[in-house]
């Protein structure tokens, strides 16, 4: 069975961002500084984007509300993201997930390095990979883990410390699988399609990957980004934001907006693969993360990705004379994604007809 091709890492970095931040200097290394980018200082006060709040309970098959479905369709076709509430996960549990994430990053470097990723590999603990010469680096450290299918987990990367992390992450995975299914079905119904249409393309061997992101305090938020602008290569991404520290920004109509925090909500965005399945009706939003000179920020993104053997293509029902087929059939989009990303191009262009 084909696994996604790993990206080619040019040269691993010696220090994590957390180690750089601990030096407590006023400047940051050259490699993190964005030059000639005139999209506005990332820390500037951009307007707040009123991300539509969607009640997932009203979307589940048993109690569907037509009004909520329409709200979902409208949100995903305009900005591509929602704040999902009533998702079946208690606030106490979300806090536990946040707590183990923060506890992991607070461990001594040596302890965290027991889970270090290998060169050229994504899974494990580490910093931004250098994939091309002159790449400007992101001010973030990450812990990347495959959550499902369960037999694809590599436990050597799963921290043993803090002790509850593994169990909590396992429980979170099961809860998010339900959320992903409810949402993929509702997405199809909101477009008047058979409810399993996207779920079938997503497949029963779909992959869920967790990316814990730590954004350490940064002395130059005017020049440095936590994550550079990108759209996700997933079908959907489920983000648990930091409970207090903002940083996520979304591009809409060529303008950056701040995404507010709703502590008990999951921020869910469309990824490129759902944009392809919906023939461009649902939008995979470009987003980035700013840095902060006062407080560090921790988030957990879970990417829901069809298995690489699964063929993804626009639903026939969404193609007509006024809306011709925009995207070709793709397979193993994540490998394609890295090849394009490496060239500094928007990966979804590779799928355009």
Quote the least distance from Cβ 293 to ligand AKG, whole Å.
Answer: 17
Q: Which residues of 131-157 are buried (b: 16+ CB within 10 A; e: fewer)?
A: beeeebbbbbbbbbbbbbeeebbeeeb
Beta carbon nearer to ligand AKG, 139 or 158: 139
Beta carbon nearer to ligand AKG, 163 or 244: 244
- Phi-psi category of residue 346: left, alpha or beta, with phi > 0 → left and psi -120 to 50 → alpha: beta
- One residue of 193, 248, 270, 277 binding ligand AKG per CB under 6 A: 248
Establish if 209 lies at the interface with ligand AKG (CB under 6 A): no
The contact mask relative to Fe ion for 106-125 (x = CB under 5 A, - = no) is --------------------
In order, the DSSP letters of 5-23 are: PPPPPS---SS-HHHHHHT
Quote the least distance from Cβ 76 to ligand AKG, whole Å.
Answer: 17
Alpha helices (H) in the chain, listed in sequence order: 17-22, 66-78, 91-105, 109-112, 165-190, 197-202, 272-277, 333-342
* 3-state SS string for 19-78: HHHHCCCCCCCHHHCCCCCCCCCCCCCCCECCCCEEEHHHHCHHHCCHHHHHHHHHHHHH
Query: Which residues within the stretch 279-308 sit at the binding site for ligand AKG (CB under 6 A)?
Result: 287, 289, 299, 301
Establish if 272 lies at the interface with Fe ion (CB under 5 A): no
- One residue of 213, 284, 290, 310 binding ligand AKG per CB under 6 A: 213
* Beta strand spans in 194-254 (E): 207-215, 225-230, 236-240, 248-252
Beta carbon nearer to Fe ion, 206 or 250: 250
Q: How many residues bind ligand AKG (CB under 6 A)?
A: 11
Establish if 227 lies at the interface with ligand AKG (CB under 6 A): yes
The contact mask relative to Fe ion for 213-242 (x = CB under 5 A, - = no) is -------------------x----------
Contact residues: ligand AKG, CB under 6 A = 211, 213, 227, 232, 239, 247-248, 287, 289, 299, 301
Residues engaged in binding Fe ion (CB under 5 A): 232
């Amino acid at each position: 069975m084909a696994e996604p091709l790993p990206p080619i890492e040019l040269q691993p970095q010696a220090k994590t961002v957390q180690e750089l931040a601990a030096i407590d200097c006023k400047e940051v290394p050259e490699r993190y500084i964005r030059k000639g980018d005139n999209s506005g200082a990332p820390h500037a006060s951009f307007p707040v984007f009123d991300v539509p709040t969607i009640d997932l309970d009203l979307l589940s098959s048993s109690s569907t509300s037509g009004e909520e479905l329409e709200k979902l369709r409208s949100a995903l076709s305009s900005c591509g993201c929602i704040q999902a509430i009533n998702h079946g996960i208690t606030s106490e549990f979300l806090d536990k997930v946040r707590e183990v994430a923060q506890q992991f990053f607070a461990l001594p470097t040596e302890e965290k390095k027991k889970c270090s990723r290998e060169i050229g590999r994504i899974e494990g603990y580490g910093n931004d990979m250098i994939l091309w010469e002159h790449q400007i680096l992101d001010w973030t450290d990450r812990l990347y883990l495959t959550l499902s299918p369960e037999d694809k987990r590599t436990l050597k990367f799963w921290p043993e410390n803090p002790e509850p992390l593994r169990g909590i992450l396992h429980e979170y995975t099961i809860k998010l699988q339900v959320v992903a299914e409810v949402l993929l079905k509702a997405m199809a119904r909101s477009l008047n399609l058979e409810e399993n249409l996207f779920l079938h393309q997503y497949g029963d061997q779909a992959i869920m990957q967790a990316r814990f992101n730590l954004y350490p305090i940064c002395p130059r938020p005017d020049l440095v980004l936590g994550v550079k602008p990108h759209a996700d290569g997933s079908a959907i991404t489920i983000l648990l934001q930091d409970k207090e520290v903002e940083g996520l920004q979304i591009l809409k109509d060529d303008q950056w907006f701040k995404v507010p925090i709703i502590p008990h909500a999951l921020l869910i965005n469309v990824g490129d693969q759902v944009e392809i399945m919906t023939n461009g009706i649902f939008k995979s939003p470009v987003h980035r993360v700013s840095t902060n000179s006062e407080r560090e920020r921790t988030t957990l993104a879970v990417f829901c990705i069809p298995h690489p053997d699964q063929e993804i293509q626009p639903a026939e029902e969404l193609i007509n004379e006024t809306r011709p087929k925009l995207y070709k059939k793709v397979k193993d989009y994540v490998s394609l994604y890295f090849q394009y990303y490496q060239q500094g191009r928007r990966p979804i262009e590779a799928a355009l007809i």
